[in-house]
Amino acid sequence: MHIHISAVCGTFMAGIARLAVASGHRVTGSDANVYPPMSDQLRDCGVELMTGYRAENLDDTPDMVVIGNALSRGNPEVEAVLERGLPYTSGAQWLADNILRDRWVLAVAGTHGKTTTSSLLAWILEYAGLQPGFLIGGVPQNFSASAHLGEGPFFVVEADEYDTAFFDKRSKFVHYRPRTLVMNNLEFDHADIFADLEAIKTQFHHLVRTVPGSGLIIWNGEDSHLRDTLARGCWSDAACFSVEAPLCDAQTPRWHARTEQPDDGRVFTCVDPAGQGHEVQWSHGGRHNVANALAAIAAARHVGVPPADAVAALREFTGIKRRMEVRAEVAGVTIYDDFAHHPTAIASTLRGLRAAAPSEKIIALLEMRSNTMRMGYHKERVANALKVADLAIIYAPTDVNLDALRSHLESTGETSVTLIDSIEHILERLRQEVSAGDQLVVMSNGSFDGIHDKIAMMLAAR
């Protein structure tokens, strides 16, 4: 079958392309921006790429067009699909119909931590010899690819609550029908899609409704919004996980962490529902990663992996690209690349680094790319989250309206968080501020104009 994927270069759709090629299909794809490294990865796996959205991209008539959720009516390729009467579907629906059918799906949902927990879970299953398939919104370094067909019955999918396509406004995750469901947390996000938190809770409850009675829902027992969502109705077995005191009732099986330094997170004891402890020593810090690990261990147990084996796998987990990934160490300065773009994730990441490096100066750079942040939501919370750092710089180019955040900082007299309008001015400020031993964290869910390499070059030249 010839499958054409419109908007192929996003992480999710690129994963769909890899799975389609691995399934024996001829795959073509188009995107507005086709450039390395994603273009190289797609071509290497056999995808024929086209730059730009054009009706002509469909002249070699495909058997199916998979349309990404970034595209809407008015897009030339979308209009051509409709005018020509070509069969089309969404990425989530194609995945459900062609890959997940007859698989034991382990889905990981939540506002934060989806990529890390999915990567941990896939690696634990691989370490245990179960040869899982997976589709993850990042690149786990234990695998070197974001998607893999797998040979066993199990498939791990990062379950995103964002909408499915221009013709299907349900959350993507309602298509996956998991037998094992992890719900990490639930907060307000995606303000361009959801009117309020209640709207997101409704989508999460739709997901809960798709889990069979013999399945298992593993939820963050510290999250009141998840508790409220499950209170609307739950027809499956449930277990909770928590780092501190949970909100779940005493009858709910609980996985919890025992640790003296939860913000550090590199050493803790995973305590299973039977009360048996399993010592974890790994290289990944932060309270959020303790929670992610507990969830992954619990989910792996549901498909038969003993906690002792899961803990052994964690020791060999090498991380995920763009999740506190060390990009360079220059002139004694460590430069990290991190995907955090929500106040909760920002704060947890910085607290984890502070616990690991208590005496070093921490400098945080933030590019506010998400629609929710740019619309002015979370302005107080993002300012408070960044105060964990000794100095925080927010990139504020002139074409982005950050007036709400600027007004908040001015009204509170906050001086450790500053807005700077250009990459050049950020580099100049860093040239004055950075010294050997500093920890510099670049936070963005985009490219941040390649600032990581520019900082490294500046430090080397200085």
Report the pLDDT value the prediction gives residue 391, as an integer from 0 to 100: 87
CATH fold of 2-89, please?
Answer: Rossmann fold (3.40.50)
pTM strictly above 0.85: no
Between 69 and 448, the higher pLDDT residue:
69
Q: Taking a C-beta distance cutoff of 8 angstroms, is the pair 130, 152 a contact?
A: yes
3 state SS of 113: coil
- Give the contacts of 188 (CB within 8 A, at least 6 positions apart): 194, 196, 197, 200, 372, 377
99 vs 48, 173, 363, CA distance in Å?
Answer: 21, 14, 43
Q: Is the pLDDT of residue 341 over 70?
A: no
Report the pLDDT value the prediction gives residue 101, as an integer from 0 to 100: 94
Q: Is the pLDDT of residue 19 over 90?
A: yes
Distance CA 412, CA 269 (A): 40
330 vs 61, 173, 424, 431, 433, CA distance in Å?
Answer: 51, 42, 19, 13, 15
The secondary structure element, H or E, covering residue 299 is helix 287-302
Q: Is the pLDDT of residue 261 over 70?
A: yes
- Report which of 119, 118, 146 is spatially closest to residue 319, judged by C-alpha positions: 119
The secondary structure of 163-202 as a DSSP string is: EEETTEEEEGGGGS--SEEEE-------TTT-SSHHHHHH
Q: Is the peptide bond before 37 cis (omega within 30 degrees of 0)?
A: yes
Least confident stretch, 72-76, 105-109, 164-168, 260-264: 260-264
Distance CA 391, CA 273 (A): 42
- The superfamily CATH assigns to domain 325-461 is Mur ligase, C-terminal domain (3.90.190.20)
Least confident stretch, 88-92, 116-120, 420-424: 420-424
Name the amino acid, one letter, at 193: I
Q: Taking a C-beta distance cutoff of 8 angstroms, is the pair 179, 146 a contact?
A: no
Report the pLDDT value the prediction gives residue 130, as an integer from 0 to 100: 97
Report the pLDDT value the prediction gives residue 455, as an integer from 0 to 100: 87
Q: For residue 326, what pLDDT band results from cuts at 50, 70 and 90?
A: confident
Distance CA 436, CA 2 (A): 54
> Is it true that domain 102-315 has CATH number 3.30.365.10?
no
Q: For residue 316, what pLDDT band results from cuts at 50, 70 and 90?
A: very high
Q: Taking a C-beta distance cutoff of 8 angstroms, is the pair 173, 211 a contact?
A: no
- Report which of 261, 274, 312, 384 is spatially closest to residue 123, judged by C-alpha positions: 312
| Tokens 């209640």, located at residue | 198
Q: Taking a C-beta distance cutoff of 8 angstroms, is the pair 256, 294 a contact?
A: yes
Percent of the chain with pLDDT strictly greater than 90: 53
- Where is mean pLDDT largest: 52-56, 323-327, 427-431? 52-56
What's the mean pLDDT in 343-371?
81
217 vs 172, 177, 242, CA distance in Å?
Answer: 18, 12, 14
Report the pLDDT value the prediction gives residue 414, as an integer from 0 to 100: 66
Mean pLDDT of the residues in the chain: 88
Q: For residue 310, what pLDDT band results from cuts at 50, 70 and 90?
A: very high
Domain spans of the chain, in order of start: 2-89, 102-315, 325-461
Least confident stretch, 155-164, 271-280, 417-426, 440-449: 440-449
